[in-house]
């Protein structure tokens, strides 16, 4: 993952937003970066390049990313509410900074929330067990055709393709 290539794709306003976001919780910066890299690596190991599409593998990646951010930051601050808020802010920032069409964006936001819920339910669980759980959830994810139906699948992953 080339950090500078990624930054070139982000407009200056969103770069400022992430800087200010990071200044609010500087101790979460490194765990978040590590969680992001590990998420990509784990997703590629399990699904190859499929996690870059809009299918179950992508749902897995988004849920895992949120889980890992919360889990890794929880080691630094033992406050679920704080780390869940951080994970939401970071991943919402990502969705705003790398625009997507409406349905894929809503799918990503939904699966991000699923990952945070999984963290809430598994704060003491091992990452390996949660990865297995998320893989199972991804295999059972529901295909959605429009954004109106996404809300019906609370705590379940959704996909488009």
| CA atoms in the 13 A half-sphere facing the CB of 57 | 15
Q: What per-residue confidence (pLDDT) applies to 3?
A: 61
10-residue mean pLDDT profile of the chain (161 residues): values are 67 80 90 97 96 96 98 96 97 90 96 98 94 98 94 95 86
Q: How far apart are CA 28 and CA 68, in angstroms?
A: 12
Q: How far apart are CA 148 and CA 161, in angstroms?
A: 17
Q: What per-residue confidence (pLDDT) applies to 126?
A: 94
> Considering the domain boundaries, does residue 5 fall inside one?
no
| Residue 99 exposed, middle or buried by CB count within 10 Å (0-12, 13-18, 19+) | exposed
Q: How far apart are CA 56 and CA 137, in angstroms?
A: 9
Total structural domains within the chain: 1
Q: Which domain holds residue 118?
A: 10-159
> Considering the domain boundaries, does residue 41 fall inside one?
yes
Q: What per-residue confidence (pLDDT) applies to 131?
A: 98
């Amino acid at each position: 993952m080339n950090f500078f290539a990624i930054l070139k794709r982000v407009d200056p306003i969103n770069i400022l937003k992430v800087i200010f976001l990071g200044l609010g919780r500087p101790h979460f910066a490194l765990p978040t970066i590590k969680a992001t890299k590990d998420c990509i690596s784990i997703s590629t190991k399990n699904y190859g390049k499929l996690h870059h599409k809009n299918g179950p593998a992508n749902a897995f990646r988004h849920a895992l990313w949120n889980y890992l951010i919360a889990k890794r930051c929880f080691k630094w601050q033992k406050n679920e509410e704080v780390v869940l808020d951080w994970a939401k802010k970071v991943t919402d920032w990502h969705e705003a900074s790398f625009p997507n069409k409406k349905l894929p964006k809503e799918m990503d936001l939904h699966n991000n929330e699923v990952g945070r819920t999984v963290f809430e339910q598994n704060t003491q669980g091992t990452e390996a067990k949660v990865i297995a759980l998320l893989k199972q959830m991804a295999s059972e994810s529901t295909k959605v055709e429009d954004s109106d139906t996404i809300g019906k699948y609370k705590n379940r992953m959704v996909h488009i393709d």
